[in-house]
Amino acid sequence: MAVSSSKASARRLLSDCLPTSIPPQCFPANHACRDGGGNNTSPASSHALLHHSSPLTHMPRPAQPKLDIELYIQNYLGRTRFDRLLFIGKTCVPLCVEALKAAVAEAKKASNIAHYQEAWESIRAAAPDEPEAAWDASWVERTEADNRVETARLESELKRYKSNMIKESIRMGNQDLGRHLESIGRLTEASDAYARMRQDATSTKHIVDCGIRLAIVSLQRKDWNMVISNVSKILNIPNADDNDSANVYPKILSGIAYMSMAAYATAAEHLLRADSSTSPAVYAEVASSNDVAIYGALTALATMDRRDLQLRVLDNQGFRIFLENEPHIRRAVSFFVNGRYASCLSILDAARPDYLLDIHLHDHLPTLYSRIRTKCIIQYFAPFSRVSIESLEAAFGRDGESIEPELIGMIRDGSLMARIDAKDRLLVAVRPDQRAEMQKEALEVARGYEEEAKERLRRINLVAAGLEIVGKANHDYTLGLRPSDALFDEDGRPLPAEAGAVESYG
């Protein structure tokens, strides 16, 4: 098939092949979409529709992605290969056909009919003239039969192992069945099979492997709470650190789960502690070493101050090995720490098109970039009492947009303590009155002293009234009564009742 035919087919991509969260600038100028009724709409109207519904429309126009799909997907193993290829195919017009063709091949390799159907529907809409757009009925029929036979075989073997009551064989039988069910897309049943492994585990490694498989399946199902729950169980296993998987999987899985739940600070904490000495092939089912560097650096930039970024990111010997795979993100962090905020944002803007193609990062990129940009503006303004709007425009301005609405939003939400002088076009810092602050602190100290004095006086009055309980430990005495020393012998043991007297005070 000619290349021109593939490109022409890609430009006829249906609107259902692309989620509404894709920025309108990703569409070519002559691209035509279809509305919900199947009618062709003009590029202008399609652009307007997406512009209205997209959460990324406030971000500047990105360049075309520089991603090489073949090199990119080599970093991954297992189901995540298909998920990432399909996501790229649904979210990027320039790479759509190439990614969807690779997704079809990946689905066939894994014998996952549901994946094949999903990829086939997408490529049929995007490039109906491609060979992969033809439904392979014979492969589907053959694969369904093979999957049924393999499932029955593994279940029969598991029953035989249970009848023999050999724990290790039962565990391995559940593991084989779980991996098979996971490969064909039956994730719930795969999770049940992995859960049964734990009761037959005979070593720490077996328990760790069970927890990792459960966490990975939960990640594929996007059940973030279950991911965190299974990771916590792994971390609570004694001597789990002896296993390479236990050193890196929990940190990466937790980081992705917390990032997906928008808990960016917690995500950064976990990702920055990932063990860089472990081979990337160990965790390739979840992420690559490049992903760890990008996720960790972006979440750290969005949540940490300059001092923490220096100590916990740039000076972190373990995480620096991850950063070596992504030198541009390392430079961005370095520029932020050194106060070169415009350069930091420029690097991030250049990398945005590729980051938008990441299956875990895509939905959170606008928020992360917004937080980083806000921090840059605040840090830039912090040393000054007033700054001209023109200088802010020069440092942080976007083509065709004024920075004033952004400053107004930051002032209103309390992130920027300043006011705008519209006449002189100045941003003026609102500094707290130091004298008033000192008086406020003095009043707080005085109130604390007063409360402490009241408590001391209350105790003095209780003692004076004889309401203090006095006596040796582990003995109960009547309130207001104090035992005389005659009640106890030399060893501190109580004497018989007639041997001593109780003295009353007050």
Q: 141-152, pLDDT tens digit by residue?
A: 999 999 999 999
290 and 335, same domain (yes or no)? yes
Instruction: Count how many domains the chain has.
Output: 2
> Does the residue 123 lie in any domain?
no
Its domain, for residue 392, covers 386-452
Q: Which pair of tokens denotes residue 437?
A: 């602050």
441 and 342, same domain (yes or no)? no
**Looking at the whole model, is its pTM more than 0.75?**
no
327 and 427, same domain (yes or no)? no
> Does the residue 163 lie in any domain?
no
Backbone angles phi, psi at 503, to 5 degrees: -95, 140
Residues forming a β-bridge with 420:
427
Backbone angles phi, psi at 388, to 5 degrees: -75, 145
Q: Choose the final residue of a domain: 426, 452, 478.
A: 452
299 and 402, same domain (yes or no)? no
CB-based contacts of 51: which residues, under 8 Å, 6+ apart? 24, 57
120 in Cβ contact with 133 (< 8 Å)? yes
Q: Choose the final residue of a domain: 337, 357, 383.
A: 383
306 in Cβ contact with 315 (< 8 Å)? no
324 and 438, same domain (yes or no)? no
Question: What CA–CA distance (Å, rounded) separates 427 from 430?
Answer: 10
pLDDT in tens, 271-302: 999 988 888 888 999 999 999 999 999 999 99
400 and 300, same domain (yes or no)? no
369 and 395, same domain (yes or no)? no
373 and 279, same domain (yes or no)? yes
423 and 376, same domain (yes or no)? no
Residue type, 96: C
24 in Cβ contact with 54 (< 8 Å)? yes
> Does the residue 410 lie in any domain?
yes
> Does the residue 196 lie in any domain?
no
256 and 345, same domain (yes or no)? yes
Question: What CA–CA distance (Å, rounded) separates 119 from 211?
Answer: 30
> Does the residue 175 lie in any domain?
no
Q: Among positive and negative, which fits the CA dihedral 176, 180, 182, 183?
A: positive
In this structure, what CATH number is given to the domain that contains residue 349? Answer: 1.25.40.570
pLDDT in tens, the chain (506 residues): 443 444 444 444 333 344 433 333 343 333 333 333 333 333 333 333 233 333 333 344 446 788 889 999 999 998 999 999 999 999 988 999 999 999 999 999 888 899 999 999 999 998 898 888 899 999 999 999 999 999 999 999 999 988 888 888 999 999 999 999 999 989 999 999 999 988 888 888 888 889 999 999 999 999 999 999 999 988 887 766 666 677 788 899 999 999 999 999 999 999 999 988 888 888 999 999 999 999 999 999 999 999 999 999 999 998 999 999 999 999 999 999 999 999 999 999 999 999 999 999 999 999 999 999 999 988 888 888 888 888 888 888 887 778 888 888 888 887 788 888 778 888 888 877 778 888 888 999 999 999 999 999 999 998 888 887 766 555 554 444 455 555 556 665 665 655 444 444 44
Q: Choose the final residue of a domain: 428, 452, 476.
A: 452
Hey, is 428 helix, strand or coil?
strand
423 and 444, same domain (yes or no)? yes
> Does the residue 413 lie in any domain?
yes
> Does the residue 372 lie in any domain?
yes
Question: What CA–CA distance (Å, rounded) separates 372 from 2?
Answer: 44
What are the CA-CA distances from residue 42 to residues 50, 53, 56, 65, 344 (Å)?
12, 17, 21, 25, 38
Alpha helices in 74-198 (DSSP H): 79-91, 96-109, 113-126, 137-164, 167-183, 187-197
> Does the residue 398 lie in any domain?
yes
402 and 329, same domain (yes or no)? no
